[in-house]
Structure 1
Amino acid sequence: MLKQQYEYVLSSRNTLLTYIDTISQQDFLADNSSFGRGSIRNLLVHICQTYCAWIGERALGIKQDFLPFESYQTLSDCQSYFAQVDEYLELFTEKFKGNEQQQIELERNGESLIVNPLKLFTHVITHEFHHKGQIMSLSRHLGYTPVDADIIR
């Protein structure tokens, strides 16, 4: 079930990334303090970092090196980071296939946290969609007309 749901997320993400490819490099990097992390690039990197922290590091135990936003200068750089996210999600969905309600213990900020894989998965994908909405709003603010990147379009 998680794998199929992630396919829907990927379809929406690909629509978003194709749209972002129409945005100028200057606007892609433009900082705007009214939109969370400040720029489209920063929002994309933040989405990836969140997946890597929760799924890669906490759920799968894969040590992460979180680079600063400035390490990602192009959409292509961000797409490469999303490819890493996709690898982690593949491992995650295989690891917990059929055990989506199993309680797992994670560490967050030095404290123990008990969640199930379904809740963790839901957390990271809703986080992505929250920031996708910010990206669409920011692009509109920059003068672009956002596309429909909903799962059902």
Structure 2
Amino acid sequence: MQKLFKYNWQVRRDWFEWCESVDEQELLKSRIGGPGSILYTLFHIVDVEHSWIRGLQGKIETEMPPFEECASVQKLRDYSERCHAEIAPFILAWNSGMENQILSDKNDAGEWEKFRYGEIMRHVLAHEIHHIGQLSVWSRELGKGPITANLIRRGLFDR
């Protein structure tokens, strides 16, 4: 599971680099088929990962900054790095004994739901991959090639 998180983190860093070559107005333009703009989608990816993993760590939910405070490539990259620094140790310490631990969480209707830690970890992984696919479509609409989604050739399995 850690390899897939490392994959997502590499791809996300590549997308931040890709964003540096695109006009900021294009990055902030509202798009069809996703949560919003290119930058907002990256913000959403970071926020969802951070929020769920903090929950698994037993940390009290904190107020995320409004998107407007992160609405540039560098500010969003900085926010992503801060969130990453906080949650990476938990993810990298993941072991099979954590798989069936339970997290209770309130849904939008205010009702309590229970989730296995392993289910949440896989949800976070799939969530980012899903939105990266949307970024790939939007990059083609801009006439730019997307970041490769290949898992191979990233050096993740060299050891």
TM-score (normalised: structure 1): 0.83
Deviations 1:102-128 (A, max 9, x none): 221221323333333222111011101
**1:85 is matched with which residue?**
83
Q: How far, CA to CA, are the matches of 1:27 and 1:52 in structure 2?
A: 26
SS across alignment from 1:99: helix
* 1:11-50 alignment runs, 5 A limit: 11-32=10-31, 34-50=32-48
Question: What's the counterpart of residue 147 of structure 1?
Answer: 147
Q: Evaluate the alpha carbon distance shift between residue 81 and residue 37 of structure 1 in structure 2; reply closer, same or farther with a 3 A threshold.
A: same
Q: Give % identity.
A: 27
Greater relative CO (CA pairs within 8 A, separation 6+): 1
> How many residues are aligned here?
150
8 Å contact from structure 1 (residues 100, 118) kept in 2: yes
Unaligned runs of 5+ in 2: 154-159
Who is 2:100 aligned against? 102
Segments of 5+ residues of structure 1 without an aligned counterpart are: none
Q: Shift of residue 98 of structure 1?
A: 4.0
Aligned counterparts of 2:89 and 2:114: Cα–Cα separation in 1: 20
Shift in Å, 1:145: 2.2
So what's the TM-score if we normalise by structure 2?
A: 0.80
Does the 8 Å contact 1:52/1:64 carry over to 2? no
Q: What is the Cα-based RMSD across aligned positions, in Å? A: 2.1
Query: Residue type of the partner of 2:44?
Result: H
